[in-house]
């Protein structure tokens, strides 16, 4: 099974935009929809586990800057909603540990096709400094439309970088999936050779990712990551939702049409995560597992929505992340109107399926939370 690199990769000062042919031939992951901030609630819950690691990093970071500037990168910012809390916290800690005039220089990285207008409106010097402890005039925000599998800032320029809910999206492509959507879940990929090819690609991609972070950081700088993992019950976050969707799609189209509809998502074990931080390059200060409830699920369990309302909310959250990728893949064989009709009918089927047995479907998330210092 041959593994090829997708030129799209995933989530950062704008490179040459790929041609349409490159989009069709290689790209496997497309950016989030512009309403991601409003529809995806489960991923925002990671903040309570990230905060203590970020505090430790801010307290222990050893780097200094002769220009009195602290530089940080958020890699995989999507539409910006989940960036405000960590950046506001970093701003507050700068006011506690550094001189009053220390500047904060922020790099927000994501795909070139990201909904950048949403980012610009959401992540501003004013929103980062709304606690009033630092001046917005001394806070600077830049957008970096380049994959985080590339080096996204000048070498040895960052004091801190983080990627909280993004690096499970892969750069490489290891083959079409005739039986599912999610590339490293055995429920979606029963072919063991194909499953292993995707997992090997995921391991390679993760090392490419961490090597890029190592190059960007100053010596003594820190990286923080929330890295997707299997849940306590052995299931993979979101992939249960993908099963009724692929069933609905394949009931309507031929296998060769649905097989390229791949969500290149890699969930990693602790061993997988630690392999990405070689001891000669990194000092891993923390590697903790946490599973977090989906806020919409909690609403449903409190009786605040009906099963049908819950099913619709789950599918809307799924669409905010995955719809553009599914749409692009299916458009290789079908025209856009056919794709829109196919997906909308399939989503409708999924709402009924989820409503009939809501216990089987939820958007709880589980991650390894990593704090690593560059040696």
Q: Once rounded to an integer, what is the mean pLDDT over residues 246-259?
A: 95
List pLDDT tens digits, range 109-152. Answer: 988 878 888 889 999 999 999 987 888 999 999 999 888 999 99
List pLDDT tens digits, range 41-60. Answer: 556 678 889 999 999 999 99
Range from 16-20, 203-207, 265-269 carrying the lowest mean pLDDT? 16-20
Tokens of 186: 């055995």
Judge whether 48 and 293 are in contact, CB under 8 Å. no
Cα 180 versus chain centre, distance = 20
Report pTM.
0.86
* 21 confidence band (pLDDT: 50, 70, 90): very low
Q: What is the pLDDT of residue 174?
A: 95
Tokens of 82: 């989940």
Q: Measured at the alpha carbon of residue 147, what is the angle toward residues 337 and 22, in degrees to the nearest 5?
A: 45
Q: What share of the chain is helix, strand, coil (3-state, %, to 5)?
A: 40, 20, 40
More confident site: 279 or 83: 279
What does the buried/exposed string (b/e) look like for 162-189 if buried means 16 or more CB atoms within 10 Å of the residue's CB? Answer: bbbbbbbbbbbbbbebbbbbbbbbeebb
More confident site: 62 or 168: 168
Torsion, Cα of 117, 119, 121, 124 (10° steps): -140
In three-state secondary structure terms, 60 is helix
More confident site: 279 or 165: 279
Residue count (the chain): 375
Annotated domain spans of the chain: 4-374
Tokens of 222: 């820190």
Q: What is the CATH number of domain 4-374?
A: 3.40.50.150
For residues 296 and 263, what is the distance between their CA atoms, to the nearest angstrom? 23
Judge whether 201 and 172 are in contact, CB under 8 Å. yes
Residue 191 CA: distances (Å) to CA of 1, 53, 179, 185, 372: 12, 39, 9, 11, 35
Tell me how crowded residue 351 is: count the other CB atoms within 10 A of its CB. 20
For residues 44 and 294, what is the distance between their CA atoms, to the nearest angstrom? 9
List pLDDT tens digits, range 273-284. Answer: 999 999 999 999
Secondary structure (DSSP) of 259-323: TT--B-B----HHHHHHTS-TTTEEEEEEEEEEE--HHHHHHHTTSS-HHHHHHHHHHHHHHHHH
Residue 324 CA: distances (Å) to CA of 28, 31, 33, 319: 10, 7, 7, 8
For residues 360 and 152, what is the distance between their CA atoms, to the nearest angstrom? 39
For residues 353 and 351, what is the distance between their CA atoms, to the nearest angstrom? 5
Q: What is the pLDDT of residue 311?
A: 95
Q: What is the pLDDT of residue 246?
A: 95
In three-state secondary structure terms, 154 is coil
For residues 219 and 157, what is the distance between their CA atoms, to the nearest angstrom? 9
């Amino acid at each position: 099974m041959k593994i090829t690199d997708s030129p799209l990769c995933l989530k950062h000062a704008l490179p040459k935009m790929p041609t349409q042919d490159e989009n069709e031939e290689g790209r496997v992951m497309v950016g989030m929809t512009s309403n991601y901030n409003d529809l995806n609630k489960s991923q925002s819950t990671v903040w309570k586990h990230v905060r203590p690691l970020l505090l430790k990093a801010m307290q222990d970071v050893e780097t200094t800057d002769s220009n009195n500037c602290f530089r940080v990168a958020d890699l995989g910012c999507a539409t910006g909603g989940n960036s405000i809390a960590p950046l506001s916290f970093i701003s507050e800690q700068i006011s506690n540990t550094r001189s009053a005039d220390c500047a904060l220089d922020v790099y927000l990285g994501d795909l070139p096709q990201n909904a950048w207008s949403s980012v610009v409106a959401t992540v501003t010097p004013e929103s980062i400094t709304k606690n009033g402890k630092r001046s917005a005039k001394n806070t600077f925000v830049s957008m970096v439309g380049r994959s985080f599998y590339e080096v996204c800032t000048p070498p040895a320029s960052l004091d801190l970088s983080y990627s909280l809910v993004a690096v499970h999206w892969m750069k490489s492509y290891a083959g079409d999936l005739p039986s599912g959507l999610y590339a490293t879940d055995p429920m979606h990929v029963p072919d063991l050779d194909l499953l292993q090819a995707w997992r090997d690609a995921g391991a390679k991609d993760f090392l490419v990712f961490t090597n890029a972070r190592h190059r960007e950081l100053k010596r003594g700088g820190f990286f923080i990551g929330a890295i997707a993992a299997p849940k306590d019950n052995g299931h993979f976050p979101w992939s249960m939702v993908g099963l009724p969707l692929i069933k609905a799609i394949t009931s309507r189209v031929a296998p060769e049409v649905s097989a390229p509809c791949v969500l290149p998502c890699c969930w990693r074990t602790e061993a997988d995560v630690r392999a990405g931080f070689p001891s000669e390059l990194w000092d891993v200060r923390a590697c903790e597992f946490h599973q977090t409830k989906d806020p919409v699920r909690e609403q449903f369990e409190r009786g605040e929505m009906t099963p049908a309302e819950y099913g619709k909310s789950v599918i809307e959250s799924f669409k905010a992340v995955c719809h553009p990728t599914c749409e692009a893949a299916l458009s290789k064989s079908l025209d856009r109107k056919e794709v829109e009709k196919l997906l909308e009918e399939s989503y409708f089927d999924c709402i009924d399926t989820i409503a009939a047995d809501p216990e089987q479907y939820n958007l709880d998330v589980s991650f390894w939370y990593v704090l690593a210092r560059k040696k």
